Amino acid sequence: MITVLLVDDQPLIRLGFRMVLGSASDLELVGEAENGAVAVRLVRELDPDVVLMDIRMPVMDGIEATREITASAPRSKVLILTTFDLDEYAFAALNAGASGLLLKDADPTELINAVRTISRGDAVIAPRMTRRLLDTFADRMPTPARRVPVPDNLTRLTPREREVLIEVAAGLSNSEIAERLTVAETTVKTHLGRILSKLGLRDRVQVVVFAYQNGMIEGT
């Protein structure tokens, strides 16, 4: 069973998601929270696999709650639920450690599949959607004049791993990267796993954020 914690300040929205989650035999809703502070406490108590997190809430918003959860309970993956495709807080949520974004009006099947994907440690944002999101927030990224030095752990990557990192950040899927680099898709997955381990990142979403913040993408 995949255990889920639902976080939203609106009871009717929680009711709707509760019904959707209840329709999947492999998902178990173990708790609900009306704000981020309660969510942080319940994550410590319940140790859920996935946290469905709203952004705008009283007491503590979803961004701060995500930051605390990913720092103190990294096993619990956070899936941000947002009203708008490119919500102004979306990038901040990803930067805080969320593993993906999902619109609140997603169909039930999409929500269920997203929870399953997040529980496996993958991201639920399509690569091209990730690129579009980051392009929208490009003005918040470091410019060449104020860019911080590249972290030392980046030097641990092999030339091929750097190539894969850049392709991921450019919005390509694993199969597209495999075709471009003329390697097997399983090889790309292996390289991506090593990149995550060496850079201390959670998933491909954070790989993209890392690459943009460190000026590894042309034009950033």
In a domain, 218, yes or no: no
The token pair that represents 96 in the structure block: 């805080």
Identify the residue with better confidence: 48 or 176.
48
Question: DSSP class of residue 83?
Answer: S
In a domain, 219, yes or no: no
For residues 50 and 3, the answer to whether their CB atoms sit within 8 Å is: yes
Print the domain residue range for 40.
Answer: 2-125
Identify the residue with better confidence: 90 or 107.
107
- Same-domain pairing of 69 and 108: yes
- Same-domain pairing of 155 and 46: no
In a domain, 8, yes or no: yes
In a domain, 86, yes or no: yes
**pLDDT at position 22, please?**
92
Residue 210: pLDDT over 60? yes
In a domain, 92, yes or no: yes
Strands 50-54 and 2-7: parallel
Residue 122: pLDDT over 90? no
- Same-domain pairing of 97 and 149: no
Q: For the ranges 67-71, 75-79, 167-171, which has the lowest average pLDDT?
A: 167-171
The CATH number of whichever domain residue 6 belongs to comes to: 3.40.50.2300
- Same-domain pairing of 104 and 15: yes
The CATH number of whichever domain residue 164 belongs to comes to: 1.10.10.10
**pLDDT at position 202, please?**
75
**pLDDT at position 59, please?**
93
In a domain, 44, yes or no: yes
**pLDDT digit string (tens) for 167-199?**
887 777 788 899 999 999 899 989 999 998 898
- Same-domain pairing of 24 and 111: yes
CA–CA distance from 159 to each of 31, 162, 164, 207 (Å)? 45, 5, 9, 16
Total structural domains in the chain?
2
Nearest residue to 188 via CA among 212, 157, 209, 165:
165
